[in-house]
Structure 1
Amino acid sequence: MPESSALVLFSGGQDSTVCLAWALDRYDRIETVGFSYGQRHSVELEQREIIRSKLARLGPAGQRLGGDTVLDLPALQSISDTALTRDTEIAFAATGLPTTFVPGRNLLFLTYAAALGYRRGIATIVGGMCETDFSGYPDCRNDTMQAMAQALSLGLATPVSIETPLMFIDKAGTWELASKLGGEDLIQIILEDTHTCYVGDRTNRHEWGYGCGVCPACDLRAKGWAEWQARTNRELPQKA
Protein backbone atom coordinates (compact mmCIF):
# COMPACT_ATOMS: atom_id res chain seq x y z
CA MET A 1 0.00 0.00 0.00
CA PRO A 2 1.39 3.47 -0.89
CA GLU A 3 2.48 5.65 2.00
CA SER A 4 -0.13 8.21 3.01
CA SER A 5 0.93 11.72 3.93
CA ALA A 6 -0.54 15.01 5.09
CA LEU A 7 0.56 18.60 5.62
CA VAL A 8 -0.94 20.20 8.73
CA LEU A 9 -1.53 23.94 9.07
CA PHE A 10 0.03 24.28 12.50
CA SER A 11 -0.12 27.58 14.38
CA GLY A 12 0.64 26.40 17.91
CA GLY A 13 -2.94 26.93 19.05
CA GLN A 14 -5.41 24.47 20.55
CA ASP A 15 -7.27 23.66 17.33
CA SER A 16 -4.22 23.09 15.14
CA THR A 17 -2.61 20.94 17.85
CA VAL A 18 -5.67 18.69 17.98
CA CYS A 19 -5.63 18.53 14.18
CA LEU A 20 -1.97 17.55 14.24
CA ALA A 21 -2.72 14.74 16.72
CA TRP A 22 -5.63 13.68 14.50
CA ALA A 23 -3.37 13.53 11.44
CA LEU A 24 -0.68 11.58 13.32
CA ASP A 25 -3.34 9.00 14.13
CA ARG A 26 -4.27 8.55 10.46
CA TYR A 27 -1.36 9.18 8.11
CA ASP A 28 2.02 7.52 7.67
CA ARG A 29 3.97 10.74 7.20
CA ILE A 30 3.11 14.14 8.62
CA GLU A 31 4.70 17.51 8.00
CA THR A 32 3.67 20.86 9.42
CA VAL A 33 3.61 24.39 8.08
CA GLY A 34 3.26 27.67 9.96
CA PHE A 35 2.97 31.26 8.83
CA SER A 36 4.54 34.46 10.06
CA TYR A 37 2.38 37.25 8.68
CA GLY A 38 3.10 40.11 11.05
CA GLN A 39 0.58 38.95 13.61
CA ARG A 40 0.15 41.09 16.70
CA HIS A 41 2.17 38.69 18.84
CA SER A 42 4.51 35.77 18.13
CA VAL A 43 3.57 33.59 21.11
CA GLU A 44 1.93 30.88 19.02
CA LEU A 45 4.95 30.68 16.72
CA GLU A 46 7.24 30.39 19.74
CA GLN A 47 5.16 27.51 21.16
CA ARG A 48 5.10 25.49 17.95
CA GLU A 49 8.39 23.64 18.38
CA ILE A 50 7.69 22.91 22.04
CA ILE A 51 4.39 21.29 21.10
CA ARG A 52 5.89 19.39 18.16
CA SER A 53 8.65 17.98 20.37
CA LYS A 54 6.16 16.75 22.95
CA LEU A 55 3.81 15.26 20.37
CA ALA A 56 6.74 13.41 18.80
CA ARG A 57 7.19 11.60 22.10
CA LEU A 58 3.53 10.60 22.47
CA GLY A 59 3.67 6.94 21.55
CA PRO A 60 4.29 5.31 18.16
CA ALA A 61 2.14 7.84 16.28
CA GLY A 62 4.54 10.60 17.25
CA GLN A 63 7.28 8.93 15.24
CA ARG A 64 5.37 9.81 12.08
CA LEU A 65 5.99 13.50 12.61
CA GLY A 66 8.34 14.82 9.97
CA GLY A 67 9.64 18.23 8.97
CA ASP A 68 8.33 21.69 9.70
CA THR A 69 8.30 24.81 7.53
CA VAL A 70 7.53 28.40 8.55
CA LEU A 71 6.67 30.71 5.67
CA ASP A 72 6.91 34.50 5.86
CA LEU A 73 3.90 36.37 4.45
CA PRO A 74 4.61 40.00 5.40
CA ALA A 75 2.35 41.38 2.68
CA LEU A 76 -0.68 40.10 4.59
CA GLN A 77 -0.01 42.52 7.43
CA SER A 78 0.55 45.45 5.08
CA ILE A 79 -2.89 45.02 3.49
CA SER A 80 -4.69 44.20 6.75
CA ASP A 81 -6.04 46.55 9.36
CA THR A 82 -7.28 44.08 11.95
CA ALA A 83 -7.01 43.38 15.66
CA LEU A 84 -4.68 40.45 14.89
CA THR A 85 -2.22 42.57 12.91
CA ARG A 86 -2.57 45.94 14.67
CA ASP A 87 -2.87 47.11 18.25
CA THR A 88 -6.55 47.95 17.84
CA GLU A 89 -9.70 47.14 19.78
CA ILE A 90 -11.26 43.70 19.44
CA ALA A 91 -14.85 44.50 18.50
CA PHE A 92 -17.38 44.04 15.71
CA ALA A 93 -16.82 46.07 12.56
CA ALA A 94 -19.48 47.69 10.37
CA THR A 95 -19.40 44.55 8.21
CA GLY A 96 -20.77 42.53 11.12
CA LEU A 97 -17.54 40.57 11.38
CA PRO A 98 -15.17 40.85 14.35
CA THR A 99 -12.06 42.98 13.90
CA THR A 100 -10.01 39.79 14.43
CA PHE A 101 -11.01 38.66 10.94
CA VAL A 102 -7.99 38.87 8.62
CA PRO A 103 -9.42 38.96 5.08
CA GLY A 104 -8.03 36.23 2.84
CA ARG A 105 -5.79 34.73 5.53
CA ASN A 106 -6.97 31.12 5.28
CA LEU A 107 -7.18 31.35 1.51
CA LEU A 108 -3.53 32.40 1.35
CA PHE A 109 -2.49 29.80 3.90
CA LEU A 110 -4.12 27.03 1.88
CA THR A 111 -2.61 28.26 -1.37
CA TYR A 112 0.90 28.36 0.04
CA ALA A 113 0.41 25.04 1.81
CA ALA A 114 -0.76 23.43 -1.42
CA ALA A 115 2.28 24.80 -3.26
CA LEU A 116 4.57 23.45 -0.54
CA GLY A 117 2.74 20.13 -0.54
CA TYR A 118 3.13 19.91 -4.31
CA ARG A 119 6.91 20.12 -3.91
CA ARG A 120 6.90 17.69 -0.99
CA GLY A 121 4.67 15.13 -2.69
CA ILE A 122 1.80 15.72 -0.24
CA ALA A 123 -1.73 16.12 -1.59
CA THR A 124 -3.69 16.31 1.69
CA ILE A 125 -3.84 19.51 3.76
CA VAL A 126 -5.25 19.39 7.29
CA GLY A 127 -6.59 22.54 8.95
CA GLY A 128 -8.47 23.52 12.10
CA MET A 129 -11.21 25.51 10.37
CA CYS A 130 -14.60 25.18 12.03
CA GLU A 131 -18.02 26.64 11.29
CA THR A 132 -19.52 25.73 14.67
CA ASP A 133 -17.34 27.99 16.85
CA PHE A 134 -15.85 30.29 14.23
CA SER A 135 -16.82 33.90 15.07
CA GLY A 136 -18.48 34.18 11.66
CA TYR A 137 -15.25 34.07 9.66
CA PRO A 138 -16.31 33.31 6.06
CA ASP A 139 -12.99 31.61 5.26
CA CYS A 140 -13.65 28.97 7.94
CA ARG A 141 -16.82 27.59 6.32
CA ASN A 142 -16.97 24.11 4.82
CA ASP A 143 -18.19 25.53 1.49
CA THR A 144 -15.06 27.70 1.35
CA MET A 145 -12.82 24.72 2.05
CA GLN A 146 -14.43 22.58 -0.63
CA ALA A 147 -14.24 25.39 -3.18
CA MET A 148 -10.57 25.94 -2.34
CA ALA A 149 -9.81 22.24 -2.71
CA GLN A 150 -11.39 22.27 -6.15
CA ALA A 151 -9.58 25.44 -7.21
CA LEU A 152 -6.21 24.17 -5.98
CA SER A 153 -6.72 20.82 -7.69
CA LEU A 154 -7.46 22.59 -10.97
CA GLY A 155 -4.63 25.07 -10.59
CA LEU A 156 -2.02 22.44 -9.75
CA ALA A 157 -3.42 19.83 -12.14
CA THR A 158 -3.32 17.27 -9.33
CA PRO A 159 -5.89 16.28 -6.70
CA VAL A 160 -5.70 18.34 -3.51
CA SER A 161 -7.74 17.34 -0.46
CA ILE A 162 -8.47 19.65 2.49
CA GLU A 163 -9.35 17.80 5.69
CA THR A 164 -11.03 19.74 8.52
CA PRO A 165 -11.67 17.37 11.46
CA LEU A 166 -13.10 20.16 13.64
CA MET A 167 -15.50 21.59 11.06
CA PHE A 168 -18.76 20.44 12.63
CA ILE A 169 -17.89 20.12 16.31
CA ASP A 170 -17.92 22.78 19.02
CA LYS A 171 -15.03 23.67 21.34
CA ALA A 172 -16.18 21.15 23.95
CA GLY A 173 -16.06 18.56 21.21
CA THR A 174 -12.50 19.63 20.40
CA TRP A 175 -11.46 18.91 24.00
CA GLU A 176 -13.26 15.57 23.79
CA LEU A 177 -11.52 14.67 20.52
CA ALA A 178 -8.15 15.51 22.07
CA SER A 179 -8.89 13.21 24.99
CA LYS A 180 -9.82 10.36 22.65
CA LEU A 181 -6.71 10.86 20.54
CA GLY A 182 -4.07 11.27 23.23
CA GLY A 183 -5.67 10.92 26.65
CA GLU A 184 -4.42 12.94 29.58
CA ASP A 185 -0.97 13.43 28.01
CA LEU A 186 -2.41 15.34 25.07
CA ILE A 187 -4.80 17.29 27.29
CA GLN A 188 -1.84 18.44 29.38
CA ILE A 189 0.07 19.56 26.28
CA ILE A 190 -2.93 21.62 25.21
CA LEU A 191 -3.33 23.12 28.67
CA GLU A 192 0.33 23.96 29.26
CA ASP A 193 1.78 24.64 25.83
CA THR A 194 -0.83 25.66 23.25
CA HIS A 195 -1.77 29.32 22.91
CA THR A 196 -5.03 30.77 21.63
CA CYS A 197 -5.31 34.17 23.37
CA TYR A 198 -5.60 37.04 20.89
CA VAL A 199 -3.46 39.39 23.00
CA GLY A 200 -0.62 36.92 23.59
CA ASP A 201 -0.95 36.67 27.39
CA ARG A 202 1.00 33.76 28.86
CA THR A 203 1.21 35.14 32.41
CA ASN A 204 -2.25 34.06 33.55
CA ARG A 205 -2.87 30.33 33.98
CA HIS A 206 -6.51 29.26 34.08
CA GLU A 207 -8.12 25.84 34.34
CA TRP A 208 -8.24 25.74 30.54
CA GLY A 209 -4.70 27.02 29.90
CA TYR A 210 -2.94 30.36 29.47
CA GLY A 211 -4.50 33.60 28.29
CA CYS A 212 -5.94 36.97 29.22
CA GLY A 213 -9.27 35.36 30.03
CA VAL A 214 -11.38 38.12 28.46
CA CYS A 215 -10.74 38.17 24.69
CA PRO A 216 -13.14 36.21 22.43
CA ALA A 217 -10.62 33.40 21.89
CA CYS A 218 -10.11 32.91 25.63
CA ASP A 219 -13.84 33.10 26.25
CA LEU A 220 -14.54 30.43 23.64
CA ARG A 221 -11.81 28.16 24.95
CA ALA A 222 -12.97 28.58 28.57
CA LYS A 223 -16.61 27.88 27.73
CA GLY A 224 -15.63 24.79 25.75
CA TRP A 225 -13.53 23.53 28.63
CA ALA A 226 -16.36 24.08 31.13
CA GLU A 227 -18.89 22.35 28.90
CA TRP A 228 -16.58 19.39 28.38
CA GLN A 229 -16.09 19.11 32.13
CA ALA A 230 -19.85 19.11 32.60
CA ARG A 231 -20.35 16.47 29.91
CA THR A 232 -17.78 14.11 31.32
CA ASN A 233 -17.86 14.94 35.04
CA ARG A 234 -14.10 15.05 34.67
CA GLU A 235 -12.11 15.96 37.77
CA LEU A 236 -10.36 19.27 37.28
CA PRO A 237 -6.55 19.10 37.39
CA GLN A 238 -4.70 21.26 39.83
CA LYS A 239 -3.25 24.50 38.49
CA ALA A 240 0.50 24.51 37.88
Structure 2
Amino acid sequence: MTLSSGSGALVLFSGGQDSTTTLAWALDRFDRVETLGFDYGQRHKVELDCRAILRTSMAGLNPLWAERLGEDHTLDLATLGAVSDTALTRDTAIEMSESGLPNTFVPGRNIIFLTFAAALAYRRGLKHIVGGMCETDFSGYPDCRDDTIKALQVALNLGMDTRFVLETPLMWIDKAQTWELAERLGGQTLVDLIVEETHTCYLGERGARHAWGHGCGTCPACKLRADGFSRYTAEKVSG
Protein backbone atom coordinates (compact mmCIF):
# COMPACT_ATOMS: atom_id res chain seq x y z
CA MET A 1 0.00 0.00 0.00
CA THR A 2 1.30 3.44 -0.97
CA LEU A 3 1.55 5.74 2.02
CA SER A 4 -0.95 8.56 2.09
CA SER A 5 0.33 12.09 1.88
CA GLY A 6 -0.37 14.13 4.96
CA SER A 7 0.84 14.19 8.50
CA GLY A 8 -0.34 10.97 10.04
CA ALA A 9 -3.58 9.72 11.52
CA LEU A 10 -5.45 9.53 14.82
CA VAL A 11 -7.70 6.46 15.12
CA LEU A 12 -10.73 6.35 17.40
CA PHE A 13 -9.86 3.02 19.00
CA SER A 14 -12.38 1.54 21.42
CA GLY A 15 -11.11 -2.02 21.51
CA GLY A 16 -14.00 -3.36 19.41
CA GLN A 17 -14.12 -5.18 16.09
CA ASP A 18 -14.75 -2.12 13.93
CA SER A 19 -12.14 0.13 15.52
CA THR A 20 -9.53 -2.64 15.38
CA THR A 21 -10.20 -3.09 11.67
CA THR A 22 -9.94 0.67 11.10
CA LEU A 23 -6.66 0.73 13.04
CA ALA A 24 -5.27 -1.93 10.70
CA TRP A 25 -6.55 0.11 7.74
CA ALA A 26 -4.75 3.22 9.02
CA LEU A 27 -1.51 1.35 9.78
CA ASP A 28 -1.55 0.16 6.18
CA ARG A 29 -1.75 3.74 4.87
CA PHE A 30 -0.10 6.27 7.14
CA ASP A 31 3.46 6.56 8.34
CA ARG A 32 2.41 7.63 11.87
CA VAL A 33 -0.70 6.39 13.61
CA GLU A 34 -1.83 7.28 17.13
CA THR A 35 -4.88 5.89 18.92
CA LEU A 36 -7.55 7.45 21.11
CA GLY A 37 -10.03 5.80 23.48
CA PHE A 38 -12.84 7.30 25.54
CA ASP A 39 -14.06 6.39 29.01
CA TYR A 40 -17.59 7.78 29.20
CA GLY A 41 -19.06 5.47 31.81
CA GLN A 42 -20.11 2.84 29.27
CA ARG A 43 -21.50 -0.46 30.59
CA HIS A 44 -19.07 -2.30 28.33
CA LYS A 45 -16.05 -0.53 29.79
CA VAL A 46 -14.22 -3.86 29.48
CA GLU A 47 -13.56 -2.81 25.87
CA LEU A 48 -10.98 -0.35 27.18
CA ASP A 49 -9.08 -3.21 28.80
CA CYS A 50 -8.72 -4.86 25.37
CA ARG A 51 -6.93 -1.93 23.79
CA ALA A 52 -3.39 -2.51 25.13
CA ILE A 53 -3.42 -6.19 24.19
CA LEU A 54 -4.67 -5.38 20.71
CA ARG A 55 -2.09 -2.65 20.12
CA THR A 56 0.77 -4.91 21.21
CA SER A 57 -0.52 -7.84 19.16
CA MET A 58 -1.09 -5.78 16.03
CA ALA A 59 2.42 -4.35 16.22
CA GLY A 60 3.63 -7.94 16.32
CA LEU A 61 1.74 -8.87 13.16
CA ASN A 62 3.70 -6.63 10.82
CA PRO A 63 7.09 -4.90 11.27
CA LEU A 64 5.84 -1.86 9.33
CA TRP A 65 2.82 -1.60 11.59
CA ALA A 66 5.13 -1.70 14.59
CA GLU A 67 7.15 1.21 13.16
CA ARG A 68 4.07 3.27 12.37
CA LEU A 69 2.11 2.72 15.59
CA GLY A 70 2.58 5.74 17.80
CA GLU A 71 1.24 6.92 21.14
CA ASP A 72 -2.04 5.87 22.72
CA HIS A 73 -4.36 8.34 24.45
CA THR A 74 -7.43 7.86 26.67
CA LEU A 75 -9.79 10.70 27.56
CA ASP A 76 -12.18 10.75 30.49
CA LEU A 77 -15.61 11.85 29.29
CA ALA A 78 -17.57 10.86 32.37
CA THR A 79 -19.82 13.89 31.89
CA LEU A 80 -21.21 12.35 28.70
CA GLY A 81 -22.27 9.27 30.64
CA ALA A 82 -23.69 11.39 33.42
CA VAL A 83 -26.05 13.29 31.11
CA SER A 84 -26.98 10.25 29.00
CA ASP A 85 -29.95 8.17 30.10
CA THR A 86 -29.30 5.21 27.79
CA ALA A 87 -28.86 1.44 27.93
CA LEU A 88 -25.15 1.92 27.24
CA THR A 89 -24.67 4.12 30.30
CA ARG A 90 -27.33 2.71 32.66
CA ASP A 91 -28.14 -0.79 33.90
CA THR A 92 -31.41 -1.05 31.99
CA ALA A 93 -32.91 -3.37 29.39
CA ILE A 94 -32.08 -2.74 25.74
CA GLU A 95 -35.23 -1.82 23.81
CA MET A 96 -36.61 0.54 21.21
CA SER A 97 -37.37 4.06 22.43
CA GLU A 98 -40.29 6.30 21.49
CA SER A 99 -38.03 8.09 18.99
CA GLY A 100 -37.75 4.91 16.93
CA LEU A 101 -34.09 4.47 17.86
CA PRO A 102 -32.75 1.77 20.17
CA ASN A 103 -32.11 3.08 23.68
CA THR A 104 -28.44 2.21 23.19
CA PHE A 105 -28.14 5.46 21.24
CA VAL A 106 -26.02 7.94 23.22
CA PRO A 107 -27.01 11.39 21.87
CA GLY A 108 -24.05 13.36 20.57
CA ARG A 109 -21.50 10.62 21.29
CA ASN A 110 -19.75 10.55 17.92
CA ILE A 111 -19.97 14.32 17.57
CA ILE A 112 -18.27 14.72 20.94
CA PHE A 113 -15.74 11.99 20.21
CA LEU A 114 -14.71 13.52 16.90
CA THR A 115 -14.54 17.02 18.36
CA PHE A 116 -12.19 15.90 21.13
CA ALA A 117 -10.25 13.84 18.59
CA ALA A 118 -9.81 16.92 16.41
CA ALA A 119 -8.57 18.95 19.37
CA LEU A 120 -6.01 16.24 20.14
CA ALA A 121 -5.07 15.80 16.48
CA TYR A 122 -4.52 19.55 16.23
CA ARG A 123 -2.03 19.43 19.10
CA ARG A 124 -0.35 16.26 17.80
CA GLY A 125 -0.02 17.50 14.21
CA LEU A 126 -2.22 14.75 12.76
CA LYS A 127 -4.35 15.50 9.72
CA HIS A 128 -6.44 12.34 9.34
CA ILE A 129 -8.98 11.27 11.98
CA VAL A 130 -10.20 7.71 11.46
CA GLY A 131 -13.44 6.29 12.88
CA GLY A 132 -15.39 3.06 12.48
CA MET A 133 -18.76 4.67 11.77
CA CYS A 134 -20.92 2.70 9.35
CA GLU A 135 -24.23 3.51 7.69
CA THR A 136 -24.70 0.19 5.90
CA ASP A 137 -24.97 -2.36 8.72
CA PHE A 138 -25.73 -0.45 11.92
CA SER A 139 -28.34 0.26 14.59
CA GLY A 140 -29.73 3.42 12.98
CA TYR A 141 -27.71 5.93 15.00
CA PRO A 142 -27.93 9.32 13.24
CA ASP A 143 -24.37 10.30 14.26
CA CYS A 144 -23.03 7.30 12.29
CA ARG A 145 -24.40 8.62 9.00
CA ASP A 146 -22.13 9.85 6.24
CA ASP A 147 -23.95 13.19 6.08
CA THR A 148 -23.26 13.77 9.78
CA ILE A 149 -19.55 13.02 9.40
CA LYS A 150 -19.22 15.26 6.34
CA ALA A 151 -21.02 18.13 8.07
CA LEU A 152 -18.85 17.75 11.16
CA GLN A 153 -15.69 17.76 9.07
CA VAL A 154 -16.73 21.12 7.62
CA ALA A 155 -17.52 22.52 11.08
CA LEU A 156 -14.25 21.32 12.61
CA ASN A 157 -12.18 22.71 9.77
CA LEU A 158 -13.92 26.07 9.95
CA GLY A 159 -13.72 26.23 13.72
CA MET A 160 -10.06 25.22 13.92
CA ASP A 161 -8.95 26.85 10.66
CA THR A 162 -7.33 23.65 9.46
CA ARG A 163 -7.87 20.81 6.99
CA PHE A 164 -8.73 17.66 8.87
CA VAL A 165 -9.94 14.67 6.89
CA LEU A 166 -12.47 12.48 8.73
CA GLU A 167 -11.88 8.98 7.38
CA THR A 168 -14.61 6.32 7.69
CA PRO A 169 -13.37 3.22 5.82
CA LEU A 170 -16.31 1.09 7.00
CA MET A 171 -19.04 3.56 6.06
CA TRP A 172 -20.40 1.68 3.05
CA ILE A 173 -19.55 -1.94 3.89
CA ASP A 174 -21.49 -4.43 6.00
CA LYS A 175 -20.20 -6.59 8.85
CA ALA A 176 -19.34 -9.52 6.58
CA GLN A 177 -17.24 -7.18 4.44
CA THR A 178 -15.62 -5.79 7.59
CA TRP A 179 -14.38 -9.29 8.44
CA GLU A 180 -13.17 -9.62 4.83
CA LEU A 181 -11.33 -6.31 5.07
CA ALA A 182 -9.57 -7.46 8.24
CA GLU A 183 -8.43 -10.60 6.44
CA ARG A 184 -7.11 -8.62 3.47
CA LEU A 185 -5.19 -6.30 5.78
CA GLY A 186 -3.73 -8.78 8.26
CA GLY A 187 -4.59 -12.26 7.07
CA GLN A 188 -6.20 -14.95 9.16
CA THR A 189 -3.96 -13.93 12.06
CA LEU A 190 -5.71 -10.56 12.35
CA VAL A 191 -9.14 -12.21 12.03
CA ASP A 192 -8.24 -14.59 14.86
CA LEU A 193 -6.99 -11.69 16.97
CA ILE A 194 -10.26 -9.81 16.46
CA VAL A 195 -12.25 -12.91 17.43
CA GLU A 196 -10.25 -13.55 20.59
CA GLU A 197 -9.32 -10.12 21.92
CA THR A 198 -11.79 -7.45 20.77
CA HIS A 199 -14.99 -6.59 22.62
CA THR A 200 -18.28 -5.50 21.05
CA CYS A 201 -21.01 -6.76 23.41
CA TYR A 202 -23.08 -3.90 24.83
CA LEU A 203 -23.55 -5.74 28.13
CA GLY A 204 -19.82 -6.10 28.66
CA GLU A 205 -19.95 -9.90 28.87
CA ARG A 206 -16.63 -11.70 28.22
CA GLY A 207 -17.55 -15.17 29.48
CA ALA A 208 -19.06 -17.03 26.54
CA ARG A 209 -16.76 -17.69 23.58
CA HIS A 210 -18.69 -17.96 20.32
CA ALA A 211 -17.26 -18.59 16.85
CA TRP A 212 -17.24 -14.83 16.29
CA GLY A 213 -15.81 -13.87 19.70
CA HIS A 214 -16.92 -13.13 23.26
CA GLY A 215 -20.28 -11.65 24.20
CA CYS A 216 -23.82 -12.23 25.42
CA GLY A 217 -24.93 -13.24 21.93
CA THR A 218 -28.30 -11.48 22.21
CA CYS A 219 -27.67 -7.71 22.30
CA PRO A 220 -27.81 -5.78 18.98
CA ALA A 221 -24.01 -5.48 18.78
CA CYS A 222 -23.51 -9.22 19.26
CA LYS A 223 -26.22 -10.05 16.73
CA LEU A 224 -24.68 -7.79 14.08
CA ARG A 225 -21.22 -9.21 14.68
CA ALA A 226 -22.44 -12.84 14.69
CA ASP A 227 -24.51 -12.38 11.52
CA GLY A 228 -21.58 -10.74 9.73
CA PHE A 229 -19.20 -13.49 10.77
CA SER A 230 -21.64 -16.18 9.62
CA ARG A 231 -21.98 -14.57 6.19
CA TYR A 232 -18.20 -14.02 5.98
CA THR A 233 -17.41 -17.66 6.72
CA ALA A 234 -20.15 -18.90 4.37
CA GLU A 235 -18.75 -16.78 1.53
CA LYS A 236 -15.25 -18.16 2.19
CA VAL A 237 -16.54 -21.73 1.90
CA SER A 238 -18.58 -21.05 -1.22
CA GLY A 239 -15.79 -19.01 -2.79
User: Which category of TM-score, normalised to the shorter sequence, fits these structures?
Assistant: over 0.9
Q: Which residue of 1 aligns with 2:12?
A: 9
Instruction: Name the count of aligned residue pairs.
Output: 235
Q: Which residue of 2 aligns with 1:178?
A: 182
Instruction: Give unpaired runs (5+ residues) of structure 2.
Output: none
CA distance in 1, matches of 2:47, 2:64: 23
Q: Which residue of 2 aligns with 1:86?
A: 90
User: Within the alignment, does 1:109 sit opposite 2:149 as a pair?
Assistant: no
Query: Out of 159, 162, 167, which is 1:155 matched to?
Result: 159
Q: Contact conserved, 1:8 with 1:23, CA < 8 A, in 2?
A: yes
CA distance in 2, matches of 1:2, 1:34: 25
5 Å-filtered alignment, 1:170-209, equals 170-209=174-213
CA distance in 2, matches of 1:230, 1:197: 23
Q: Contact conserved, 1:3 with 1:28, CA < 8 A, in 2?
A: no
5 Å-filtered alignment, 1:113-128, equals 113-128=117-132
- Please list the CA deviations of residues 93-143 of structure 1 after superposition, one character each: whole Å capped at 9, or x if unmatched: 000000100000000000000000000001210000000111100000000
CA distance in 2, matches of 1:209, 1:71: 27
Q: If the length of structure 2 is used for normalisation, what is the TM-score?
A: 0.96
Q: Percent identity?
A: 63
Q: Which residue of 2 aligns with 1:210?
A: 214
Q: Which residue of 2 aligns with 1:41?
A: 44
Q: Contact conserved, 2:133 with 2:168, CA < 8 A, in 1?
A: yes
Structure 1 runs of 4+ aligned residues shifted over 6 Å read none
Q: If the length of structure 1 is used for normalisation, what is the TM-score?
A: 0.95
Q: For 1:132, what is the secondary structure of its paired residue?
A: coil
Residue identity opposite 2:184 in structure 1: K
Question: What's the CA shift for 1:42?
Answer: 1.6
Q: For 1:219, what is the secondary structure of its paired residue?
A: helix
Q: Which residue of 1 aligns with 2:31?
A: 28
Relative distance call for 1:231 and 1:73 in structure 2 (3 A) is same
User: Within the alignment, does 1:76 sit opposite 2:80 as a pair?
Assistant: yes
CA distance in 2, matches of 1:112, 1:128: 16
Q: CA RMSD in A?
A: 1.4
Question: What's the CA shift for 1:30?
Answer: 0.1
Q: Contact conserved, 1:44 with 1:194, CA < 8 A, in 2?
A: yes
Q: Which residue of 2 aligns with 1:142?
A: 146
